[in-house]
Amino acid sequence: MERAEKREVVTALHDVIAKAGVVVVAHYAGLTVTEMTRLRRDMRSAGGQVKVAKNRLVKLALEGTDAKGIADLLRGPTCIAYSADPIAAPKVAVKFAKTNEKFVILGGTMGATALDAKGVSSLASLPSLDELRGKLIGLIQAPASKLARTLNAPGAQLARVFAAYGKKEAA
């Protein structure tokens, strides 16, 4: 790889890492192409990406970002997984690591906070942003729907009473 190509890779990685909500670093030695493709597909469907680049280039890309604390993790065959959603990449990475022993999570970063492997696992156990939004909307709508049912109940009971009297007189 020539210097110009390396500069482009570093610049692209820097932009990606600076915009990411979370970055996960893992060893991937021994994974087959099929397994790596499955990881990339799962990560992409969750809204994240997986990149494999030379550690030296990733370290250069980390300079000037909040994620510079993970530079020490970049030893050996490593890959980085990242996403804008702080839960998506850790969730997919931890799930993949459970089914594949050769994929070992080393740690990561969420903003300026460096995470170890346990921190990434605990992030993965949290509900996703979409799940939290759904729960919040449900909580907001619950009082309104209960109020509507409460207000409609006396009217519905009154209608049933009138219907019963109407049937009684008709018979």
Task: Say if CB 99 and CB 22 are below 8 A apart.
Answer: no
Are residue 75 and residue 131 in the same domain, yes or no?
A: no
Are residue 86 and residue 140 in the same domain, yes or no?
A: no
pLDDT of residue 23: 92
Are residue 57 and residue 133 in the same domain, yes or no?
A: no
Backbone angles phi, psi at 6, to 5 degrees: -65, -40
Residues of the chain with pLDDT under 50: none
In one letter, which amino acid is 45?
S
What does pTM read for this prediction?
A: 0.72
Are residue 29 and residue 70 in the same domain, yes or no?
A: yes
Are residue 44 and residue 63 in the same domain, yes or no?
A: yes
Give residue 8's domain range: 3-126
How many beta carbons lie within 10 A of that of residue 73, not counting itself? 25
Are residue 72 and residue 155 in the same domain, yes or no?
A: no
pLDDT of residue 48: 92
How many domains, in total, are found in the chain? 2
Distance CA 160, CA 79 (A): 67
pLDDT of residue 99: 92
Domain of 7, CATH number, reads 3.30.70.1730
Are residue 70 and residue 140 in the same domain, yes or no?
A: no
pLDDT of residue 4: 87
